């Protein structure tokens, strides 16, 4: 396990710990301290995610799980706002109604992206490819994806895999069917 995988694996336990502390602690001064600490950790994880995108497969899975959590949260918040707007009798074509439609649409998009990526990756058997790693390339500044062609199929790689695949070895890889990321690499003799 690399340091990047360890940091990414600690994200959800820390998020759960801070959520539990915020539910349990009633003292306003302590709650502010917990919120500042949680905000600091969130800022740290966001900064690491921006500076080191695709540092590990665990970080990529965390990203899709976060989308799966934020999607229903946006939908629920949009529904609550819509119910409040209906209760207070706001007009149908108001700015608040458009904001609710946008929130629900964004939540649906995030939840759909998460489900269509994670379900095939973990519920269906992984695609096994065997061949020489060819045409190893990195993305542009807008899309920082590392890609490699193995056995005539283009797959995505994380940063450590990309660095090893630059040498164009003969490999057998397991690729997730939803995300097209390499989950496991076995280096074979040339």
Reported as a single tens digit per residue, the pLDDT across 59-78 is 888 889 999 999 999 999 98
Say whether both 105 and 132 belong to one domain: no
User: Comparing 66-75, 140-149, 167-176, which segment has the lowest mean pLDDT?
Assistant: 140-149
**Mean pLDDT across 11-35:** 91
Q: By residue range, what is the domain housing residue 111?
A: 54-123
SS3 state of residue 1: coil
Q: Whose CA is closest to 72, among 22, 114, 121?
A: 114
Say whether both 111 and 134 belong to one domain: no
Structure tokens at 138: 């990195």
Say whether both 67 and 39 belong to one domain: no
**Mean pLDDT across 168-190:** 88
- The CATH code of the domain that includes 143 is 2.40.50
Question: How many separate domains does the chain show?
Answer: 3
Helix (H) or strand (E) segment spanning residue 154: strand 153-157
What pLDDT score does 45 carry?
Answer: 86
**pLDDT bucket at 159, cuts 50 / 70 / 90:** confident
Q: In this predicted model, what pLDDT tens digit does every residue of 66-124 receive, in sequence order? A: 999 999 999 999 888 888 766 666 566 677 778 888 999 999 999 999 999 999 999 99
Say whether both 118 and 58 belong to one domain: yes
- Measure CA 71 to chain center: 12
Q: Whose CA is closest to 133, among 150, 117, 120?
A: 150
SS3 state of residue 177: coil
Say whether both 113 and 139 belong to one domain: no
Could you say which of 99, 123, 147 is where a domain stops?
Answer: 123
What pLDDT score does 75 carry?
Answer: 94
Using CB atoms within 10 A of its CB, is residue 86 exposed (0-12), middle (13-18) or buried (19+)? exposed
What pLDDT score does 99 carry?
Answer: 84
Say whether both 48 and 58 belong to one domain: no
> In whole angstroms, what is the distance from residue 84 CA to residue 90 CA?
9
Q: Whose CA is closest to 80, among 94, 106, 99?
A: 99
DSSP state of 43: H
**Mean pLDDT across 125-134:** 92
Q: In this predicted model, what pLDDT tens digit does every residue of 46-59 receive, in sequence order? A: 888 878 777 888 88
pLDDT at 142 over 60: no
Structure tokens at 88: 């207070």
Could you say which of 107, 123, 139 is where a domain stops?
Answer: 123
Q: Please state, for a pLDDT cut of 70, what percent of the chain lies above it.
A: 92
Q: Whose CA is closest to 19, among 31, 5, 7, 27?
A: 31
User: Comparing 80-94, 110-124, 149-163, 173-187, which segment has the lowest mean pLDDT?
Assistant: 80-94
């Amino acid at each position: 396990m690399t340091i990047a995988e360890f940091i990414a694996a600690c994200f959800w336990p820390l998020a759960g710990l801070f959520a539990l502390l915020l539910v349990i602690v009633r003292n306003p001064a302590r709650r502010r301290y917990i919120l500042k600490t949680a905000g600091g950790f969130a800022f740290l994880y966001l900064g690491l995610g921006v500076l080191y995108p695709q540092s590990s497969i665990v970080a990529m899975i965390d990203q899709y799980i976060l989308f799966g959590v934020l999607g229903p949260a946006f939908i629920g918040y949009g529904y609550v706002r819509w119910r409040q707007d209906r209760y207070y009798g706001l007009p149908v074509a108001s700015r608040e109604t458009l904001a609710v439609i946008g929130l629900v649409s964004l939540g649906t998009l995030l939840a759909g992206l998460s489900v269509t990526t994670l379900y095939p990756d973990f519920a269906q058997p992984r695609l096994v490819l065997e061949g020489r790693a060819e045409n190893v390339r990195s993305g542009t500044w807008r899309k920082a994806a590392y890609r490699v062609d193995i056995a005539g199929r283009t797959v995505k790689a994380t940063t450590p895999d990309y660095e090893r695949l630059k040498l164009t070895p003969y490999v057998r890889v397991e690729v997730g069917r939803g995300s097209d990321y390499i989950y496991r690499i076995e280096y074979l003799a040339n």
